[in-house]
Amino acid sequence: MKTLGNRLRKVPPGAAVKILRRGFLLPTPAARLLFNDILKPEKWHRQWIYKVRWNQGWWGGWIGENINKLNHDGMMDRIARADVILFHVHGGGFRLGKYNMFMDSCIQLLRVLKVKFNVDALIMSVEHRLSPEYKYPSATEDIVHAYDHLINKLNVDPSRVICIGGSTGAAVILEMLFITHDPGLFEIQVDNVEGGQAEAIAPELPRPASLIISSPLVTDKTTSESWITNTKYDYINQDTAKKIIAEYFEEPAPDVAPDANRLLGIADLQTGYNAFLPQTLMFVGNREVLRDDALDFAHKAEQDGVRWETIVEECAHDYFFVREVVKDKKVLERIDDIFADFVYRTVIGPCHEEVRSFRRASEGLAAVPEEEQHDDTSYDDSEASEDEFHEALTMTLDYNQSTTTAVSEQSSKVSTMSNRTSVSNSKKKSTMTIYV
């Protein structure tokens, strides 16, 4: 029996937007059932999945070609030999989602890197505790632990790492980068040996080589113009935003400022972006409600000296990962090329240009055969295992140029906003390319 996810891939983008819009408004239990079915991996995906159970550092899974049958040592060898590690955090409004929810998109990203630059990449796709069962800052704590595990336990050079995430996943990554560049700003609640709670300072961690974010949630305010003009096109709306905020964030105490939530307050910073943000590529939809807030955030970061590239396409929210909402398939080809070029420029070029050469592959990867059975030691997506992770967590948590590219149908709004993200001075010049 085909899942709803298989059917969603075949419906028109407009119908997909409507299904997603209604799904996000459902009560959390019902929404999880729906989206777990919509985003359930297919049989042929299994060959690309190596599931990781909670291991005192992180849980989720690795995504890469032919890794599902590897033993532990074999997986560690693949990690050590990978040219690029994509540290991925899923979206879902803090309340939905799994590490393997975007398998088609993730596999396509790995394939385009292989085909275009012969780059061997792996995706470390991390899960986090979900709301409303776990409130802020649970998700950030989990992602900090996972990134720490990647750098300090797996000993992966940060110059080989790109952080990547969409929507609320991008928001969590932004806060992770912010707090780990200055640990004194943040405290993580962990359990001490006596069973009581103790406070631990977040570890100071090096920045990754670069950052790729799609439709980032950067503020809890819903007053920008795109929240009004794009509601009819997007699957995120005011009601969705209220539900996300209400379920993830506790009501502030009387003596706490209403904007005390750092996660959705980074965009309020006037300076300091260059201290924690690496070179960044951002995808945002011209038809999404978060457009204006994301472009304002990009403008501030550029002003502060962050090397930043913005891609705007005539699409709805998080089209980089949720590709079912994209009508023009040439858009997908374009963003895949932009993604691959960015990865090569920020990781492969700086680190390996002098000691090794990467040829452009002349043909694609071989077709992946379907498997009837899957090795349960590396892939088990049961709800019981998810509950096991959450239970364990509660018990054991211890160039001189910036380019802004706008892609639209000659939208005057986006042209104006993109110009706002451009910063010009004697040392820095931003450019805008419009695809029509």
pLDDT digits (tens, 9 = 90+) for 266-313: 888 888 999 999 999 999 999 999 999 999 999 999 999 999 999 999
Report the percentage of the chain scoring pLDDT > 90: 65
Distances (CA, A) of 101 to 5, 63, 310, 332: 10, 11, 25, 18
Residue 11 to residue 327: CA distance in whole angstroms = 11
What pLDDT sits at residue 46?
95
How is residue 8 written in tokens?
A: 């969603």
Average pLDDT, the chain: 80
Of 298, 321, 319, nearest to 233 (Cα)? 319
Residues facing residue 63 across a β-bridge: 49, 123
pLDDT class of 106 with cuts at 50, 70, 90? very high
Of 132, 126, 122, nearest to 144 (Cα)? 126
How is residue 218 written in tokens?
A: 């950067």
Mean pLDDT of 153-179: 97
pLDDT class of 393 with cuts at 50, 70, 90? very low
Q: Which has the higher per-residue pLDDT, 393 or 313? A: 313
Backbone phi, psi, residue 49, to 5°: -115, 130
How is residue 81 written in tokens?
A: 């030999």
Residue 291 to residue 416: CA distance in whole angstroms = 12
Q: Which has the higher per-residue pLDDT, 356 or 17? A: 17
Most confidently predicted of 9-18, 194-203, 354-363, 400-409: 9-18
Mean pLDDT of 86-113: 97
Residue 150 to residue 80: CA distance in whole angstroms = 11
Mean pLDDT of 321-345: 97
Q: Side-chain half-sphere of 276: how many Cα atoms within 13 Å?
A: 19
Residue 30 to residue 422: CA distance in whole angstroms = 43
Distances (CA, A) of 39 to 10, 32, 255, 269, 381: 14, 10, 42, 35, 12
Residue 382 has pLDDT above 60, yes or no: no
Residue 72 to residue 108: CA distance in whole angstroms = 25
What pLDDT sits at residue 177?
96
Whole-prediction pTM: 0.81
